[in-house]
Structure 1
Amino acid sequence: MSISISKASVFIEELLAVIEDVYWECTTMEMKNLCFNAVRLLQTELTELTKVSVQDHHYDYEIIAYQDNTVLETLNQLGHMLTDCVLRTQTKNTLHPLLKQAQQVFAQK
């Protein structure tokens, strides 16, 4: 699934907000470290996207900041570790669909 740069920016912002909620709701340092890493990766990517000209926001999105599957692997690891973490229902219900969508957004073509 390809999405435009503008839609990818909105998606990353939404994912960032939810992962920040997860960070504050988690009780283990291991989970907090993983959330922190995910936030740093996504913020770096979002920063790079803000450098793209507004005139080019209709083009298909491709990962800019990372060449490999670093973002996807980190989000997959986060998803697996969440099974042991107690989160608010709203956070869990918001995060799971976003993690599934991230599989398509961040997949290398």
Structure 2
Amino acid sequence: MSQKTVSDALHVFYELNSALSDAYWETNDINSKDWFFAMKTMLQDELDELHKLSIQDHIYPYEPINPGVVQLSDKLRSLHPGMSDIVYRPTTYQRLDELIPRACDLFDIA
């Protein structure tokens, strides 16, 4: 496994943030909306911290900054197996199906 950089993390997190936004707007179930909103908020907190780094720091290995990403990792791992029950649009499902393992890999290296 190659070591992931801050730049890699930013790329995955931007894509995941977009996919979670789509999932939020595509569901009609209030509990699912709450779940997607909570995950987006945790992800945004991490992105906010990563944005504080200088562009030169993007080559360094990624390490989670915000302790809340542990909760995000747990929520993503819970979502992934049962995603077909709450994510109905095929393109959103495919994006999340690809991005969730990539994001969890980033959290595991810390």
TM-score by length of 2: 0.89
The residue that corresponds to 1:12 in the other structure is: 13
Counterpart in 2 of 1:36?
37
Partner SS, residue 108 of structure 2 = coil
CA RMSD of aligned residues (A): 1.7
SS in 2 for 1:101: helix
Within 5 Å, give how 1:60-71 maps onto structure 2.
60-66=61-67, 69-71=70-72
Matched, 1:45 2:46: yes
Cα 1:68–1:55 shift into 2, 3 Å = closer
Letter paired with 1:105: L
When the two structures are aligned, how many residues end up with a matched partner? Answer: 109
Aligned to 1:95: 96
Report SS of the residue matched to 1:60: coil
Amino acid at match of 1:70: Q
Percent identity over the alignment is 33
Amino acid in structure 2 at the alignment position of 1:26: T
The secondary structure found in structure 2 opposite 1:57 is helix
Q: CA deviation at 1:86?
A: 4.5
User: Which of the two has greater helix per residue?
Assistant: 2
Structure 1 gaps, min length 5: none
Counterparts of 2:78 and 2:87, CA distance in 1? 16
The one-letter code matched in structure 2 to 1:82 is M
Deviation at 1:101, TM superposition (A): 1.2
CA separation of 1:47 and 1:70: change in aligned 2, threshold 3 A: same
Partners in 1 of 2:100 and 2:24 — Cα distance?
15
Deviation of residue 67 (structure 1)? Answer: 6.4
CA shift in 2, pair 1:108/1:68, >3 Å: farther
